[in-house]
């Protein structure tokens, strides 16, 4: 065998051996990286679990150390009107002097003067106070005991969901084929305390490209999406909702108007220039 051929063969063999070595080494590095990733994931999960446990313990400790606990705001449905919401506030003290007077104070967010209500003892160290608020405003509150040793809580906000939210969500979808557009909307309302916040009726005002308008009423009842595959069904299937379906040519946009028990209304506009698989909007 000629010398140049031997050299070439040696180079080829060396190259093959080097490639084999590189492949083996890369596989080894890949396995090491996979092991490191798994080890990191396990460590991360353990750390997150420990952090979550510590946070839970801190929360429980803070709750146990609170001077006032188990505070509840209970709407008085019968006494409340649209502009005057009645709330019964109940709470429990961790400890309290036997001769102390308890005062629940509250005020509008922007006001300087506090309104004071002398709380009534219910049992043990549990007290109650009745307050009246205007739902158009946000409110602050605090609780004080007055006796040989005066003590008070920090200032907190009244939970506005009790007296401001109408708990309304509108989900809708559109499908266009040529000049024809199919529009479907579903109005879901969470449980609300007051009848004057409940949806009384809803309408869809359909605006066409010739400037004309057509009105379609929503209907209230059990929603059936017509899909029998549980995994594909709409999350509201079987729930009581307000629903409407509109299919027309040359639709430009649709206005949805919701009327509440108090006579007030809210509107939202849905433009139909693009297809929407599903979108969810929240109203007050």
pLDDT tens-place string over residues 84-138: 999 999 999 988 888 889 999 999 988 999 999 999 999 989 999 999 999 889 9
167: left (phi over 0), alpha (psi -120 to 50) or beta: left
Please determine whether the domains at 68-162 and 168-283 fall in the same fold group of CATH. Answer: yes
Distances (CA, A) of 214 to 210, 225, 246: 12, 25, 10
* Angstrom distance (rounded) from CA 64 to CA 57: 10
Q: How far is CA 268 from the centre of its chain?
A: 20
Rama region for 271: left / alpha / beta (φ>0; ψ in -120 to 50; rest): beta
CATH class assigned to 168-283:
mainly beta
Burial of 87 (C-beta count, 10 Å sphere; 0-12/13-18/19+): buried
- Per the prediction, the chain carries an average pLDDT of 82
DSSP letter (8 states) at residue 114: P
What is d(CA 23, CA 181) in angstroms, rounded to the nearest whole number? 58
Residue extents of the structural domains in the chain: 1-63, 68-162, 168-283
Which 8-state DSSP code applies to residue 84? B
- Lowest-pLDDT range of 64-78, 189-203, 257-271: 64-78
Q: What is the pLDDT of residues 206-234, one digit of tens each?
A: 999 899 999 999 999 887 655 544 444 45
The CATH H-level superfamily of 68-162 is Immunoglobulins (2.60.40.10)
234 C-beta neighbours (distance < 10 Å), count: 17
């Amino acid at each position: 065998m000629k010398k140049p051929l031997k050299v070439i063969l040696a180079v080829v063999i060396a190259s093959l051996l080097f490639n084999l070595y590189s492949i083996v080494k890369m596989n080894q590095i890949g396995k090491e990286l996979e092991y490191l990733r798994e080890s990191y994931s396990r460590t991360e999960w353990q750390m997150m679990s420990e952090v979550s446990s510590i946070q839970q313990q801190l929360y429980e400790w803070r709750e146990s150390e609170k001077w006032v606990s188990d505070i509840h705001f209970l709407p008085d449905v019968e006494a409340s009107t649209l502009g005057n919401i009645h709330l019964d506030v109940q709470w429990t003290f961790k400890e309290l002097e036997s001769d102390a007077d308890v005062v629940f104070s509250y005020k509008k967010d922007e006001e300087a003067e506090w309104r004071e209500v002398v709380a009534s003892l219910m049992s043990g160290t549990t007290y109650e106070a009745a307050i009246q608020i205007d739902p158009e405003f946000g409110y602050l509150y605090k609780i004080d005991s007055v006796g040989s040793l005066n003590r008070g809580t920090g200032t907190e906000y009244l939970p506005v969901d009790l007296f401001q939210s109408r708990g309304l969500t509108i989900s809708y979808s559109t499908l266009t084929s040529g000049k024809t557009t199919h529009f479907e909307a579903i109005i879901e309302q969470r449980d609300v305390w007051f009848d004057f916040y409940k949806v009384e009726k809803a309408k869809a005002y359909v605006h066409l490209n010739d400037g004309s308008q057509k009105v379609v009423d929503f209907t209230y009842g059990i929603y059936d999406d017509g899909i029998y595959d549980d995994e594909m069904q709409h999350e509201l299937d079987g729930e009581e909702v307000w629903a409407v379906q509109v299919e027309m040519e040359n639709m430009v946009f649709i206005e949805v108007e919701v009327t509440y028990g108090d006579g007030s209304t809210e509107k939202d506009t849905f433009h139909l220039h693009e297809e929407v698989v599903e979108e969810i909007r929240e109203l007050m």
